[in-house]
Amino acid sequence: MAHRAGFAAIVGRPNVGKSTLLNRLLGQKLAIISNKPQTTRGKILGVVTRPDSQIALVDTPGLHTAKGGLNARMVQAALQTIADADVVLFLIEAGPAAIDAATRKALEQVVAAHKPTLLVINKIDILPRKALLPIIARWKDLHQWTDVYPLSALKGENVDGLLNVVAKYLPEAEAMFPAEQWTDKQERDLCSELIREQILRQTGQEVPYSTAVLIEEFDETQRKTGPKGLVRITATILVERDSQKAILIGKGGSKLKEIGMKSRLEMERLLSAKVFLTTHVRVEPGWTKSAKGMQRAGYDER
């Protein structure tokens, strides 16, 4: 049988579970997850290498309707990903709600792209079984779906066969990436994201969107000595205002301590090493307005 290889774009409105699905399909945590929109800031590539195929999955920031600075950039990144893909996974959330404006907009973009597109109905774990058929019926005629695939990315229900379906729509080609490469992201960038994930999870609405995490030091000199080795990481969390800094640090430093502890545990899992993490918070008014600042914050520059 011929070897297949290509790109599969994961698209849909914010919060439907795109990043959760990427991690599930990879069997590794690559993208950070939260219930807040704008958790995913740029494109994320995850590579699954199998004996007969190599599937490059591209997670995208949500397709939504909002205009202006950050949002426009993120939508642009998602659209470019669709244009570059061989197959599209269009994610929706299983639920009785009417199709909202953001979803409709996202669907229009996907229809216009004329690519093989799977309708993936996520979060079936929160749905009674009998509620699924009406959802499929409502969606079935909105596009010429190549397949309809209900699953739960969170619970891993019905996920196993999905990559077989995806692989069918990839061109016959040699592998594009070395077998051991599972992402294009560097470890230090993944560590920066793990800190941002904890900030998203542990602070309210006012902080996360004007936050960037910079890794100032990523010292691996002791990584391979000792049983597990040690990585020393120093991170600066940028915010725009003093009030945000105060929230991040918390009473007696408790919030920052909690953010540091949880993200350090995640880093240790990622790096299979002990991590010695130091974090600082720095106020830098207006960093979100500058292109350089945006790039540092992990938004794709185009």
Ligand X SMILES: Nc1nc2c(ncn2[C@@H]2O[C@H](COP(=O)(O)OP(=O)(O)O)[C@@H](O)[C@H]2O)c(=O)[nH]1
15 binds, among Mg ion, ligand X, none (CB under 5 to 8 A by kind): ligand X
**288 scored as a contact of Mg ion (CB under 5 A):** no
Phi, psi of 267 (to 5 degrees): -65, -40
**236 scored as a contact of Mg ion (CB under 5 A):** no
CB of 174 to ligand X, least distance (A): 30
- Is the Cβ of residue 35 or residue 225 nearer to ligand X in the bound state? 35
203 binds, among ligand X, Mg ion, none (CB under 5 to 8 A by kind): none
Tokens of 123: 């979060």
CB of 78 to ligand X, least distance (A): 11
List the one residue from 9, 19, 106, 196 that touches Mg ion (CB under 5 A).
19
- Is the Cβ of residue 4 or residue 123 nearer to ligand X in the bound state? 123
CB of 243 to ligand X, least distance (A): 26
- Is the Cβ of residue 79 or residue 275 nearer to ligand X in the bound state? 79
> How many CA atoms within 13 Å lie on the side-chain side of 209?
10
What's the per-residue H, E or C state across the chain? CCCEEEEEEEECCCCCCHHHHHHHHHCCCCCCCCCCCCCCCCCEEEEEECCCEEEEEEECCCCCCCCCHHHHHHHHHHHHHHHHCCEEEEEEECCCCCCCHHHHHHHHHHHHHCCCEEEEEECHHHCCHHHHHHHHHHHHCCCCCCEEEECECCCCECCCCHHHHHHHCCCECCCCCCCCCCECCCHHHHHHHHHHHHHHHHCCCCCHHHCEEEEEEEECCCCCCCCCCEEEEEEEEEECCHHHHHHHHCHHHHHHHHHHHHHHHHHHHHHCCEEEEEEEEEECCCHHHCHHHHHHCCCCCC
123 binds, among ligand X, Mg ion, none (CB under 5 to 8 A by kind): ligand X
Contact region for Mg ion (CB under 5 A) — 16-24, 90-98, 139-147, 283-291? 16-24
Residue type (1 letter), 239:
V
* Residue in the shown chain whose Cβ atom is closest to ligand X: 17
CB of 57 to Mg ion, least distance (A): 12
The whole-angstrom separation of Cα 276 and Cα 260 is 10
**CB of 280 closer than 8 Å to CB of 274:** no
CB of 3 to ligand X, least distance (A): 30
CB of 120 to Mg ion, least distance (A): 14
Residue 39-58 contact track with Mg ion, rule CB under 5 A, x = bound: -x------------------
# of chain residues touching Mg ion (CB under 5 A): 3
- Is the Cβ of residue 5 or residue 91 nearer to ligand X in the bound state? 91
CB of 27 to ligand X, least distance (A): 15
154 binds, among ligand X, Mg ion, none (CB under 5 to 8 A by kind): ligand X
The footprint of ligand X (CB under 6 A) covers: 14-20, 33-35, 39-40, 62, 122-123, 125-126, 152-154
The whole-angstrom separation of Cα 84 and Cα 76 is 12
- Is the Cβ of residue 126 or residue 133 nearer to ligand X in the bound state? 126
Contact region for Mg ion (CB under 5 A) — 34-42, 143-151, 173-181, 234-242? 34-42
Q: Which residues bind Mg ion (CB under 5 A)?
A: 18-19, 40
